[in-house]
Structures are given as C-alpha cells and as structure tokens.
Structure 1
C-alpha cells in the first residue's frame, strides 16, 4: 500500500463510528496490574465508558472535559469529591458533533474546542447543561491528515494551536507545518514555531514561559529513523527542520537537497523513532517527589508502522536549565510483547498534584498519585 493510500485508510478509520467500551472491575484491575510505576506511586482507573479520550481540561469546580478524536464528541465528568460532583453534575457530553475535536483548553470560565478547521468557545463551561458551543474562528486549514489539534494558553492569553503537515512528508507551503498563536480579542494569528511536522503536545516552562513541544518524526524511513523530538522555542519564527532536516542531524532523502543542517533548530532530546510522542505537561505540583518538580511528562501513543512495537508509555524528562539532563520511563505496561492494552494520548496535572493519563486506545482515564507506600507498607 502506498503512503498516500495508507494515510487515506487511516483517516477513514478515524472517522468511522465507534462504540464506547465499559469495563468490569476485574478488566480494569487486570490492566492496572500490568502497569509499572516508580516505587511509592499508585495508579487507578478514574473513568471509562466514553470513547477515544484525548486532550483534557479541568474547571475550578473539578469538572473534567476530554475531547474524542474518533467519536467527534467532547465529554465531561465530575472529578471524585469535587464541587461539581457535590453539585450533582453527572458525566455526559456536549450536544454538538465535531470533526476530530482532540484539542480542548479551559480559561476564565470558558472552554475552547478545536476541531479540523474551526475553533469554538463554550461560555457556560462550569454548567455543561447550559453549554452551547459558539464558532469563533474558522480560518484553520481543513485538511484531515494531521488536522486534529492540541490547545494551550500562554500566560499572556494567546491560544497556541498546531497546524500539522497534510502528509507524511511534503513541502506544503507556509500555511502548514507550524505552531501558531491566536489573539482571541483581535482574532489575528502569529507564527511561533516553523518546520514542525505534527505536534500534538506542548506546554510552557513555569520559570521562563518558553514553549516546549513534542513533534512526531516522518514515516517510511525504516524502523529506527527519524526520531520524535522534544523541542524548545526560544524566539518566535525559529525553524525546526521539517521537511528538510529530521532529528536535528539528518537530511531528508527527498527534500533535504540544498539545505544545511546547521540552519535549523536541533531538538533538546531525541525521543525515539515511531514512539508517537503526544501530550506533555510540566509538573509544577508538590505531591510527587522533588526530582519530578519542574520536569516534563510525555505521553507516548505508540508505533503503528514499525516491525516491533515501541512506545505505549509515559516518560519523564528531567531538565537542567534549558537542557534535558536525562529521560526515563515513568509508566509502562500498556505494551505486553506485541500486544497493546492502551495508548497514552495526553497527560495533565490536577490541582492536587496527581497526574491524569488519557488512553484513546482502550478508552480509559488513569490517575497516578504518590503515596510513598511500597510493598508491605500498602496493606498497613
């Protein structure tokens, strides 16, 4: 199958109707028993029963929203013990149907939803029964290939939005392969990072406010090339290489001719080929041990076209200033041999410092907490 035909088949599959999966307690526990975490951490299934959980956002009242790329819906549920739960809010979904609404963000009482081509705002985000999405921006590209989005607000209120390449590898022009920011008052955009193939995860450093982002490397260059990237944007307009240079040190066999590696920004870390690094977040809480504070958690969705599967885990990047001191696996076990039991898509820190992981492969949201208890201590 050619690359173009394969891409069309994958997009068609993504738009097919899906039926949500409800698991038994025993089925959930069987997966939890597979997952390995550092000593002192515990994991639980926070929610299941919706389909294809992707990016998450939470309101002040503890109402959690989550986008579904394949199902075309935005779901919500009250967090256990939250004000939303005490107010009687039950899990449900917004009435509107979207096209791949992976990306959502919350700010100042409003929920923002990006599907392919459009940005919507929900003014009554704290009261989902009254929620009615309003179209506020419709000038995003309409291409389905890499057309799903990821959203986050910078401290200055600008909304950051990725514009993926409409292909595996191509030079599609200035409208694509970048991350932009949108001023919600004037509805004008600014190019932030260029030469970005498909970023489905980014966050802002808590100390500097600078943008860090993951980027998925191209396919069809073999099992081990090129690597996904963890990048740092220092100045708006910096170019990170795509489609000419990959992983900071490799010219593309088709589009690299006439280009110099030194002209493009190298990644801060190579994350591995085909691991599909998606959602990421800086850890700014206090619940986890000191080593995690100020570092980055990254969800690896996992490979789809490699002879031996890789990814399907959550990794942690320890930073030393603007450098990655080391990378380590934080949560794994969704991949058992070549059998897949989950695909982490996004990570988000809750106000109490616990970490949520959305799984769009087996339709669960997990919560990871640090208790400090290990081994026999857990039963005391």
Structure 2
C-alpha cells in the first residue's frame, strides 16, 4: 500500500539530497540546505507610501466591478507576477520574471500590506515566476530551469537565511540547450494527489516539427508532475503552447488551465483558451491548432495525429489569459463559489488592445463553462495600459488578490454587499 510522504519525510529526503550534491549546487544553496549562515544580512525593502502608491490608487478609481465589490491597493510590489498565500495567512510570496521573489506581510491585519521585502536574498533566482504552497506549509518556487523548496517559509522568511533545497536541480527541468528567453514563466500548484504540477511553455510561436518528439518526452509545451520529494517525474498534459495558470476543481479534482495562443494570425483569431483536463495524457492541440479549432498556418495541411481536447471556454483573441484560481471562500455571494477567477494580461499582437482585466468563469454541474468580465478598466480612452493583471489568489478571509506586473502592484478585491 502506497502512502503519501509526510512533510517531515520530504524534508529529510531533500536534505540528504542536498548534502550529497556538494559542489554540484551553488554555494549559498548548499549552505542553506545544511542550515549554515551565508553572511547575508540585508534585505531590499519596497516603500509602500508616497506618490507612486497614490498614483496606483488613482487608477483603481476607474476600475468597474459588480455591485457590492470594492478594490484597493494591497501592496506595491515591483514586477509582481504569480502569488502564493501562506497557509498560516502570515505572508504572501510574489514571483517575478526577473531575479526577485517578494515577501508581502500585513502585520496588523487591516488588509493592506505593511511590509514588502525580498525573500531569500542570499540566493540568485532566475525568472522565479511561480511560487506555490503545499497545505502543510512547504513553499515551492518554479524558475526558468529549476524548482526550489523552502520548508517552513512562513517562519524562516523573517531572516535573510532560509532553509532551501533543490526539488528539481538547475538544468533538469528542461534540457539546458532548450532554455529560451521566450515563454519561460513557469507556474506550479499542488494537486489533490499531493503531487506538484508544473507548466512548461514551449519557446516558439508555433513549435517546429523537428522539436516535437523531444518536447513530448520532456513535457515542454505541456505540464509535468512530480512527487513532493522530486521523484516520479511524468508528463501529465500535452499540446499546450504556453500555459501560465492552472488550478484544480475543488470538488472533482480535475485540472483546469489557461493557454496563450498563436500570434501573427490576425486581430480576432485564434481564441484564447481555458481548458479542462479529465485524464492524464490528454492532448490540447498545439501545434496543429493555434487556439480553439483554428488550424495553424504551419500545420494546416497536415492530418492531426492525436485526439484533441477542445477548450472548455474560448476567450477573446490575444487577451493573454494567465493566472487563475478556483474560488472557495465564503465572503463573495454564493454564485461565485466554485467559479474561476482569472487574469487577462492584455494583448500585444492586436490593433486595438484587449484584456487587462479579471474574468470570472462559472461552471455548471455538467462541467459546462461560461466566462464574463469581473474587474476591468485598466485600458484607458487612449488605448493605453494602466495596468496588466497577471494572477489571482485568495486570502483566508475570502477576498482575492490580483497581481499587476506593469503597475508593480498587488490589489485586493472584497465584497461589502448584502447578498
């Protein structure tokens, strides 16, 4: 009979792994894994007041929401991307596409952050876009080509030195020769099977034929899962172009994810996607499909050699659907329970900008889904972006956080209505 590893067991396995690796890991990671100090003493703190914050609050005055909902500035967080809210509600970790992970703390619980500082400043991160938490308090950070594990992150984050280990060592998430500057923002979530699911965007607009076998083997342009001790890697999802948001249905456990679709095909095609995966190994169409049932120019004359699962929801072309989360809180009206809140980052490959908003997707008992705008107004009358939402996360009180890498901010949306 198989048993899931406990947090303590995972920690022990990873600790022994780091000790065995010795010089094969960066010096500071080795020291942190051996619970040794690095000599790092300074944090980078982000000012939370002043004119910059007031400018963001001014922008938020134009954001429209359903009746009874409010939005406010939660924190100034440079380059804010995907978020992981600590299970204890102490700190929220925010990734970036640069070299920082930010720790955001609301110490007096007034639902506005008091402190934003860099996390684990002795480590050198490389595109640490994707933090995620296990229920028992282990923080995972998915980078461009590595996944790190931080046990007790909510405890250790107050110090520059934190317990840190390799889950997937540098150069082992994808082959180093496949590293790219494009589509490298990884995200992760822990599934109901207590495995970690990691998306691996493929670097091309449309993946070339000569890469397909290798990508399939590694899960590039797909999603992989591994055990929480880093073992048991397997490819779970195929046929994704660049998914930067996924979560698990709170009742069925099914995997749902967004996918960014092919550029250069015109303003209105192909559609973006929100997908529903019901079994391991399903294929979602790339590179034969550019989005929905729109065939790519590169593969339009070829017979599709796989069985393709079409999207549960087609979204507006080039809106760039990114982070998503199922709502499980009790603050919002009942109709939002079990709905998906997702962020549209906004278009670059379109004559008239679209997106830059938060969407809500409702799912009925048969799994049919419909989506509509929830929070919008980050595109002004001149067609300029005032913000570009990236991710959505839920706080313990049932409000939601929205990250914005253009404004460098995290917003909080809450409900004050009477429903």
TM range (shorter): 0.7 to 0.9
| More displaced 10-residue stretch of structure 1: 261-270 or 204-213 | 261-270
Distance in 1 (alpha carbons) for counterparts of 2:107 and 2:359: 26
Q: How many residues align?
A: 353
Partner SS for 1:26: helix
In the other structure, the counterpart of 1:183 is 227
Instruction: Tell me the TM-score normalized by structure 2.
Output: 0.79
* Alignment-derived partner of residue 335 in structure 1: 379
Are 1:38 and 2:75 counterparts?
no
Say yes or no: does 1:351 pair with 2:379: no
- CA 187–261 in structure 1, closer or farther in 2 if over 3 Å, else same: closer
Once the two structures are TM-superposed, the CA of residue 342 in structure 1 deviates from its matched residue by 0.5
Contact 2:56 2:407 in 1 (8 A): no
Contact persistence 1:245–1:261 (CA under 8 A):
no
Matching residue of 2:27? none
Which of the pair is proportionally richer in strand? 1
Stretches of structure 2 lacking an aligned partner (at least 5 in a row): 1-44
Comparing 343-352 with 324-333, greater Cα deviation is found at 324-333
Indicate if the aligned counterparts of 1:35 and 1:331 stay in contact, CA closer than 8 A: yes
Aligned residue for 2:303, secondary structure, equals: coil
User: Which residue of structure 1 aligns with residue 35 of structure 2?
Assistant: none
Instruction: Verify the 8 A CA contact 1:53 1:364 in the aligned structure 2.
Output: yes
Equivalent positions of 1:267-346 (< 5 A) are 267-337=311-381, 338-346=383-391
Change (3 A) 1:231 1:261: farther
Query: For 1:183-239, what per-residue CA distance to the aligned partner results, in whole angstroms no more than 9, with x for missing partners?
Result: 123522111110000000010001110000000001111111111101011111010
Task: Name stretches of at least 5 consecutive residues in structure 1 with no aligned partner.
Answer: 1-18, 375-380
Report the CA distance shift for 1:33/1:89 in structure 2 as closer, same or farther (over 3 A): closer
Residue 113 (str. 1) matches residue 141 (str. 2)? yes
The residue number in structure 1 matching 2:173 is 140
The SS at the match of 2:374 is: strand
Task: Report the CA distance between 1:322 and its aligned residue.
Answer: 4.4
Distance 1:332 1:61 in 2: 27
Distance of 2:290 and 2:93 partners within structure 1: 34
Alignment-derived partner of residue 102 in structure 1? 129
The alpha-carbon deviation at position 247 of structure 1 amounts to 2.9
Aligned to 1:67: 95
Give runs of aligned pairs for residues 84-103 of structure 1, distance below 5 A: 91-95=117-121, 96-103=123-130
Aligned pair partner of 1:248 in 277, 292, 300: 292
Q: State whether residues 256 and 277 of structure 2, in contact with CA within 8 Å, keep that contact through their aligned partners in structure 1.
A: yes
Q: Point out the more displaced range, 93-102 or 35-44.
A: 93-102
Q: Distance in 2 between matches of 1:26 and 1:358?
A: 17
Partner Cα separation in structure 1 for residue 368 and residue 399 of structure 2 = 23
2:257 aligns with 213
Normalised by the size of structure 1, how large is the TM-score?
A: 0.87
Distance in 2, Cα, partners of 1:361 & 1:322: 37
Find the aligned partners of 2:137 and 2:417 in 1 and give their Cα distance: 35
Secondary structure of the equivalent of 2:61?
Answer: helix
